[in-house]
A and B are shown apart, each in its own frame.
Chain A
Amino acid sequence: MKDEVLILGIESSCDETAAAVVKNGREVLSNVIYSQIDLHKLYGGVVPEIASRKHIEKINQVIKKALEDANVTWDDIDAIAVTYGPGLVGALLVGVAEAKAISFALDKPLVGVNHISGHISANYIQDKNLEPPFLCMVVSGGHTHLVMVNDYGEYDILGRTRDDACGEAFDKVARAIGLGYPGGPKVDKLSKEGNKEAIHFPRAVITDYPLDFSFSGLKSAVLNHINSSKMKGEEVNVADIAASFQDCVVDMIVSRTMLAAEEKKVKDIALAGGVAANSGIRNGLKNACAEHGYNFYCPDFIYCTDNAAMIASAGYYEYIKGTRHGYDLNAVPNLKL
Chain B
Amino acid sequence: MRLLAIDSSGMTASVAVLNEQGLMGEYTVNYKKTHSQTLLPMIDELLRFLEINKKDLDCIAVSEGPGSFTGLRIGAATAKGLALALDIPVAAVSTLEALAYNGISSENIVCPIMDARRNNVFTGLYKWNDYNKSEEPEIVMEQTAMEINELIEKINSIGEKVLFVGDGIGVYREVIAKQIKVPYNCINDVMRNQRASSVGAIGMRNYNNGILTHGDDFEPVYLRLSQAERELLNKKTGKSE
Contacts and interface: CB of A to CB of B under 8 A. Distances in A.
B165 to A, nearest CB: 27
Interface in A122-159: none
Interface in B24-77: 34, 36-41, 43-44, 54, 69-70, 73-74, 76-77
Contact of B78 (A43, A64, A101, A330): A101
A97 B34 contact: no
A79 interface: no
A183 B54 CA distance: 47
Contacts of A49: 69, 226-228
Interface in A37-90: 42-43, 47, 49-50, 52-53, 55-57, 59-61, 63-64, 74, 89-90
Contact of A102 (B37, B70, B81): B81
A102 B82 CA distance: 6
Contact of B73 (A90, A101, A104): A90
Interface in B70-99: 70, 73-74, 76-86
Contacts of B80: 56, 59-60, 98, 101
Contact of A56 (B39, B73, B84): B73
B8 to A, nearest CB: 9
A90 B85 contact: no
Nearest to B81: A101
Contact of A94 (B77, B84, B228): B77
Contact of A96 (B36, B84, B85, B229): B36
B37 A330 contact: yes
B232 interface: yes
Interface residues of B, number: 35
A331 to B, nearest CB: 6
B84 A93 contact: no
A328 B40 CA distance: 7
A301 interface: no
Interface string B182-224: 0000000000000000000000000000000001100110100
Given A99-B81, A102-B84, A328-B37, 14 more contacts: A50-B228, A53-B219, A56-B76, A56-B220, A60-B215, A61-B216, A64-B216, A93-B70, A93-B77, A97-B39, A100-B78, A104-B43, A106-B85, A327-B40
